[in-house]
A and B are shown apart, each in its own frame.
Chain A
Amino acid sequence: MKTFVALVKREVLDGKNGYLRVPMILAGLTVALVVLSSLGFGNMLYFDGMEHEGIQNLADAMNQAKAREPDEFSAAITIGYWAMSVLAWIALPFVIFFSLLGALYEERRDRSILFWKSMPVSDWQEVLAKFFAPLVVAPLAFLGVAVAAQLLIALFLSILMVFQGGPVMDLWPLGLMIASWFSVLSHYLVSMIWALPLLAWVLFVSAYASRMPFLWAILPPFIIMVVEEIFLDSSIIARWVGTHLGGWQDGAFRHISDDFNGPRELLTAIVNGMQWHSVSYSLTNPQFWLGIVIAGGFLWGAVELRKRAV
């Protein structure tokens, strides 16, 4: 266990640009955008020379919104924070993909594999650590950064509201915010388990390719899909890949109406309903389980390849 922690720590250290710097830069950009646009909110109206229903600044707009829809306001704020911090998430799939792709390839290319192999660490521990870090640590880091960005935005808006005379306390629907963080995390985890066979394939390629791992990861599946399309006139594999990449949500959420009557209903659906639907749908879906088995096969292959790699 101590060894595994050390290995994961090493992976995070190696990937800290992707795991920490990228989301922090994106989140920093987001916060800066929010700050600039809310400071300029009143000014823009002012410059336009129009006075819209007595709104002169952000505080007026919030006061009016709260007065009009008091029940919806905190849900709207929570969703608003997510909308504002979503930019920080954009890079996550790329970070995961390229971390996995380089995990067992770079160490062979720069020969550092010989150093790692001079340590009393088994190959399966190495492979699992290299699978675990991008899949679990990276999203936690991204979530942490997104949460920090949301809190920063909330703090900034609160200060602004103090000066402008807006609803400060209503900017902190902490219960909803925390619930939303956990929902995002659990939804992410279910999505990752669905994507396991594809992610394990990337790690397998990383252990196999002697050069150009990117092409090895992308081209063979693509060629198989094209061949299937041409000769069998079907697209089973393409649809299988699509399902694991996120298409499963069509099935999981088909009973949920996508006609939401206001932000409160949307948030309630996300925090309560969808979790349950995605978990129960996944656990009873054979393709979900088959995917895990296939992922196990690729991981086993990656371990065997690493045992032989010098």
Chain B
Amino acid sequence: MTGQTNNAPVVEAKGLAKHFGNFTALKGATFTIPLGRIVGVIGANGAGKTTMLNAVLGLSSYEGELRVLGRDPSKERPALMQDICFISDVATLPKWMKVVEVLDFVESVHPKFDRAKAMNFLSRTKVPQERKVRALSKGMTVQLHLAVVMSIDAKLLVLDEPTLGLDIIFRKQFYQSLLEEYFDEDRTVIITTHQVEEVEHILSDVMFIKDGEIVLEADMDELTQKFIEVMVAPGKEEEAMALGPITKGATFGKTTCVYKNIDRETLAKLGETRRLGLADIFVATMTGEGQ
């Protein structure tokens, strides 16, 4: 049983599509997410990220084939939620509840919730137990929600803009504890965020979405090796242009060129090389120059 589920992909989508009237939010996306990965879903606002996640979470209907942990999410949401946790991009905790009542509720309906763990997470924050969610600051509300989902022994954790409204110190702490205390090879995490720089070092895979289509699905290590930026040494500009950079700019009076799929040793002769950040790769890909 466990051997089977371990090998099966967590999410398997074939031609996943969604229409809202005349508007097509998702145009037949096909992708597979295996177990034990941290996948970053990156795209501009309105690109279809939330639509895709809602389908995966069984929150909306869809066209095409979709299996999540071997189940059909549109029909089996309650059963799936035993093994899936998610935080949406809007504040969803019931505002009229006290913090302790939220924990009571989750404890009584979720068999895989570990209250001691949640209390441990919360003890590192300043969230007061007896206060109502309504009276918490935005950051505290997110901290509470994160403490709840991190204390559920799920196979798939979906975080849609999880750290929106949090200060930078907590954001760092959160991603660190996500990596150290939550993630292991039996879990998969899907993250969407605008703050790409903060997650890129923990991602194992990335998916770029543009206008309802998946334009890139790649292993993080492979992807970052493909794109190399060179600070071109003086006098080598012509040589550099000849290799066909995908973008060109200037910093401190030096020319910088970005290359895709060109051998690092060749580029090293032109000047100082460095890896390109995920945000720059995203921009290069989205503007079409990287393709």
Name A118's closest neighbour in chain B (CB-CB): B86
A154 CA / B78 CA spacing, docked (Å): 50
Task: Give complex CA distance A146, B239 in Å.
Answer: 92
- Please tell me if B85 contacts chain A, counting CB pairs below 8 Å: yes
Within 8 A of A (CB), among B78-99: 78-82, 84-88, 90-97
Q: 8 Å CB contacts to B: which residues of A169-224?
A: none
Does B59 lie within 8 Å of A114, measured CB to CB?
Answer: yes
- Of the candidates B59, B79, B93, B96, which one forms a contact with A120 in the assembled complex, judged by CB atoms under 8 Å apart? B79
Number of interface residues, chain B, beta carbon within 8 A? 33
Name B145's closest neighbour in chain A (CB-CB): A115
Which of the 9-residue segments B104-112, B117-125, B208-216 touches chain A?
Answer: B104-112
Report the stretch among A6-14, A61-69, A225-233, A265-273 that lies at the interface. A6-14
Interface flag for A255 (CB, 8 Å): no
Looking at the assembled complex, report how far the CB atom of B115 sits from the nearest CB atom of chain A, in whole angstroms. 14
Contact among B86, B92, B109 with A121 in the assembled complex (CB-CB below 8 Å): B109
The answer on a CB contact under 8 Å between A114 and B90 is yes
Are B90 and A119 neighbours in the complex by a CB distance under 8 Å? Answer: no
- Contact, CB under 8 Å: A120 / B86: no
Say yes or no: B92 contacts A111, CB within 8 Å. Answer: yes
B225 at the interface (CB under 8 A from A): no
B85 CB contacts on chain A under 8 angstroms = 118
Q: Among residues 100 to 140 in chain B, which have CB atoms less than 8 Å away from a CB atom of chain A?
A: 101, 105-106, 108-111
Tell me, in angstroms, the Cα distance from A14 to B101 when the chains sit together. 11
Check if A122 is an interface residue, CB within 8 A of chain B: yes
Chain A interfacial residues counted at CB < 8 A: 27
If A13-B101, A308-B61 touch, whether A119 touches B106 (CB-CB below 8 Å) is: yes
Report the minimal beta-carbon distance from B267 to chain A, rounded to whole angstroms.
47
Cβ contacts under 8 Å, B82 to chain A: 120
- Contact check, B61 vs A310: say whether CB atoms are below 8 A apart: no
Q: Do the beta carbons of B93 and A3 come within 8 Å of each other?
A: no
Selected contact of B110 from candidates A119, A307, A310, CB within 8 Å: A119
Q: Does B60 contact A (CB under 8 A)?
A: yes
A233 to chain B, nearest CB (A): 42
Q: Which A residue's beta carbon lies closest to that of B77?
A: A117
A122 near B78 with CB under 8 A, answer: yes
Q: What sequence of 0s and 1s flags, for each residue 1-37 of chain A, a beta carbon within 8 Å of any chain B beta carbon?
A: 0110111011001100000000000000000000000
In chain B, residues 41-82, which have Cβ atoms closer than 8 Å to a Cβ of chain A?
54, 57, 59-61, 77-82
- The reply to whether A6 and B105 form a contact with Cβ atoms under 8 Å apart is yes
Separation of A38 and B112 alpha carbons in the complex (Å): 58
Q: Are A308 and B109 in contact, with the CB atoms below 8 A?
A: no
In angstroms, Cα B106 to Cα A7, docked, is 10
Is A235 positioned at the interface, with any CB of B under 8 Å from its CB? no
A103-122 contacts to B (CB < 8 Å): 107, 110-122
Give the shortest distance, in Å, between B9 (CB) and chain A (any CB): 21
State the Cβ distance, A12 to closest chain B Cβ, in Å: 11
Closest to A122 in B: B78
A-B CB pair tally, cutoff 8 Å: 72
Residues on B with beta carbons closer than 8 Å to the beta carbon of A119: 81, 106, 109-110
Residue of A nearest to B90 (CB): A111
**B88 proximity list for chain A (CB < 8 A):** 111, 114
Please tell me which one of the listed residues B80, B81, B94, B149 contacts residue A112 in the complex, with CB atoms under 8 A apart.
Answer: B94
Complex: A111 Cα to B145 Cα, angstroms? 14
Known: A120-B78, A120-B109. A13 touches B97 (CB 8 A): yes
**When the two chains form the complex, which single residue of B79, B87, B94, B111 contacts A110, counting CB atoms closer than 8 Å?**
B94
Q: Which of A10, A13, A115, A117 contacts B93 (CB 8 A)?
A: A115
- Bound Cα distance A244, B90 (Å): 42
Query: A7–B105 Cα gap in the complex (Å)?
Result: 8
Beta-carbon nearest neighbor of B80 in chain A: A120
Query: Cα distance A162–B64 when bound, in Å?
Result: 81
- CB-CB under 8 A for A6 and B92, given A118-B81, A310-B59: no
Question: How far, in Å, is A10 (CB) from chain B's closest CB?
Answer: 6
Q: Report Cα–Cα, A260/B219, bound state, in Å.
A: 87
Partner of B78, one of A110, A111, A114, A121: A121
Docked Cα-Cα span, A16 to B79, in Å, equals 30
Q: Which residue of B lies closest to A124 (CB)?
A: B78
Residue of B nearest to A17 (CB): B96
A7 touches B109 (CB 8 A): yes
Measured between alpha carbons, how far is A3 from B113 in the docked complex, in Å?
Answer: 14
A9 / chain B contacts, CB cutoff of 8 Å: 108
Q: Report yes or no: B79 in contact with A117, Cβ–Cβ below 8 A.
A: no
A5, A10, A110, A120: the one within 8 Å of B81 (CB): A120
Q: How far, in angstroms, from A10 to B109 measured CA to CA in the complex?
A: 11
Complex interface: chain B residues within 8 A of A307 (CB) = 77
B54 touches A310 (CB 8 A): yes
A10-B105 CB under 8 A given contacts A111-B92, A112-B95: yes
Q: A110-B95, A117-B59, A118-B84 are in contact. List 6 more A-B contacts (CB 8 A).
A: A6-B108, A117-B77, A118-B92, A120-B79, A121-B81, A122-B77
18 A–B contacts, CB within 8 A, in A order: A2-B108, A6-B109, A14-B96, A110-B95, A111-B90, A112-B93, A112-B95, A114-B90, A114-B92, A118-B85, A118-B92, A119-B110, A120-B78, A120-B80, A120-B111, A121-B78, A307-B77, A308-B61
